[in-house]
C-alpha cells in the first residue's frame, strides 16, 4: 500500500467486521463517529473529528435491515458534506434494491434508480461496489462508479483447492448463464444449466432438467447472491438426480433470508462458498459454510482511487 495518511475511513453499522479488516489491510484507523438510534427509529450521527478537505470513504452495505442501513448512509453523507469533506466516496459492498432495476409489470417502481438518486443527492462523489445484480445499474449514476468483481477471488479459491479438476460450472437458472460462463472460462470448465419449468418450491423431477453433461462430474452452482436459498437447494437436488458427484454452491452475497440456512444445511452441498460483503452472524453460520474476505480487494481499490491510479489491476486476466 502507498502512503494513505490523508484518507478518512468511516464504518457504519451494517458490516463492522469487514470495515475493521479493510482498515487493517490499509494500515489506517477507522475514524471516530457515533451512530445512535432513538426509540422511535430516528438516526443521529455525530462525526467526532475534522474531515475538512479530506478524502472520505464510508463503508456501508445496504443489507438487512435494508432501510435502516440505507438511511444511515444517507445521513452520514449529509453530515460529511456539511462538514466540508473534500470528497465523499461510498463503499457499498452489497447494493440493496438492485433487483428492482426495471419495470417488469405495469405501475412498478424502479427502486434501484431511486436509491441511486438518493446516494447522489446526499453528496456522494463516487460509489465503489461489488457484483451488482445487474451491471447496467452503473448507468443510473451520474458520478463515477467502480464496479468490482468477486469472481477472481472465488476462482482463485477453487483453483487453490484443486476443485477445478473434472468440474462443471452450473447456472441455477437461465438468467445466470453469463456468470456461469465467466467462471467456467477461468476454471477451463464446461457449463450446465438447471432448467426448472415451474415456480413451485418443491422440486418436481418431471418439470426440472439439467441442460449439459454433469453425470460423474463435480459441479459448482454459481450465482451472484443467495437469498432464501430455495433456488440453490433445488439446483443441488437436480444435479444429484442427474448423477453429479460433489456439488458446491458459490455466490458473492450471502443474504440468507427466511429459511435459507435450513435449506442449505438440508441440501446435498459439500461446501457453500460466499464472501463477507454482508455480515453473517453466528446463528446463520454452519459447518460447510466458507466465507472469503473481500477486504484486500476493497483496500486495494481505495488505495488506487485515493492515489488517482487506474483500477485495472483489480481485474486480472487468467492465462489460456
| Residue 196 is among the residues annotated as catalytic for this protein | yes
Q: Is residue 223 marked as binding?
A: yes
Catalytic entry in 196, 218, 231, 300: 196
How far, in Å, CA of 69 to CA of 72, rounded? 5
Asked if residue 72 belongs to a known ligand binding site, the reply is no
Give the residue from 186, 195, 233 showing the smallest Cα distance to 214. Answer: 195
253 is in an annotated binding site: no
Query: Rounded CA gap, 138 and 161, in Å?
Result: 33
Rounded Cα gap, residues 183 and 254, in angstroms: 18
Q: Please answer whether residues 6 and 303 qualify as being in contact, where contact means their C-beta atoms are separated by less than 8 angstroms.
A: no
Torsion sign (Cα): 50, 52, 53, 57 = positive
Dist CA 110 CA 106 (whole Å) = 11
Alpha-carbon distance of 29 to 48, in angstroms, equals: 14
CB 276 within 8 A of CB 252: no
**Cα gap 267→7, rounded to integer Å:** 45
133 known ligand binder = yes
Which residue numbers belong to the known binding site? Answer: 40-42, 133, 173, 223
**Residues annotated as catalytic (active site), given as ranges:** 196
Which residue numbers belong to the known binding site for ATP? Answer: 40-42
Which residue numbers belong to the known binding site for D-ribose 5-phosphate? Answer: 223
Which residue numbers belong to the known binding site for Mg(2+)? Answer: 133, 173
Amino acid at each position: 500500500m502507498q502512503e494513505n495518511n490523508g484518507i478518512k475511513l468511516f464504518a457504519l453499522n451494517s458490516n463492522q467486521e469487514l470495515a475493521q479488516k479493510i482498515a487493517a489491510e490499509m494500515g489506517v484507523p477507522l475514524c471516530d463517529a457515533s451512530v445512535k438510534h432513538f426509540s422511535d427509529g430516528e438516526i443521529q450521527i455525530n462525526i467526532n473529528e475534522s474531515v475538512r478537505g479530506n478524502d472520505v470513504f464510508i463503508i456501508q452495505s445496504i443489507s438487512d435491515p435494508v432501510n435502516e442501513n440505507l438511511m444511515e448512509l444517507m445521513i452520514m453523507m449529509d453530515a460529511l458534506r456539511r462538514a466540508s469533506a473534500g470528497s465523499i466516496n461510498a463503499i457499498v459492498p452489497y447494493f440493496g434494491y438492485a433487483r428492482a432495476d426495471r419495470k417488469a409489470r405495469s405501475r412498478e417502481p424502479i427502486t434501484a434508480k431511486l436509491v441511486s438518486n438518493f446516494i447522489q443527492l446526499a453528496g456522494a462523489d463516487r460509489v465503489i461496489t461489488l457484483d451488482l445484480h445487474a451491471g447496467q445499474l452503473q448507468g443510473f449514476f451520474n458520478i463515477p462508479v467502480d464496479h468490482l468483481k468477486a469472481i477472481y477471488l472465488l476462482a482463485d479459491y477453487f483453483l487453490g483447492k484443486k476443485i477445478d479438476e473434472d468440474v462443471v460450472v452450473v447456472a441455477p437458472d437461465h438468467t445466470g448463464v453469463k456468470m456461469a460462463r465467466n467462471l467456467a472460462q477461468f476454471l477451463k470448465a464446461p457449463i450446465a444449466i438447471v432448467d426448472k419449468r415451474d415456480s413451485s418450491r418443491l422440486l418436481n423431477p418431471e418439470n426440472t432438467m439439467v441442460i449439459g453433461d454433469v453425470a460423474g462430474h463435480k459441479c459448482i452452482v454459481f450465482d451472484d447472491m443467495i437469498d432464501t436459498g430455495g433456488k440453490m437447494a433445488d439446483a443441488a437436488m437436480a444435479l444429484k438426480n442427474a448423477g453429479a458427484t460433489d456439488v458446491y454452491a458459490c455466490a458473492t452475497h450471502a443474504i440468507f433470508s427466511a429459511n435459507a440456512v435450513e435449506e442449505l444445511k438440508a441440501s446435498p452441498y459439500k461446501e457453500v462458498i460466499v464472501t463477507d460483503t454482508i455480515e453473517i452472524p453466528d446463528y446463520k453460520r454452519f459447518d460447510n459454510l466458507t466465507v472469503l474476505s473481500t477486504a484486500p480487494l476493497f483496500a486495494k481499490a481505495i488505495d488506487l482511487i485515493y492515489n488517482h491510479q487506474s483500477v485495472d489491476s483489480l481485474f486480472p486476466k487468467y492465462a489460456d
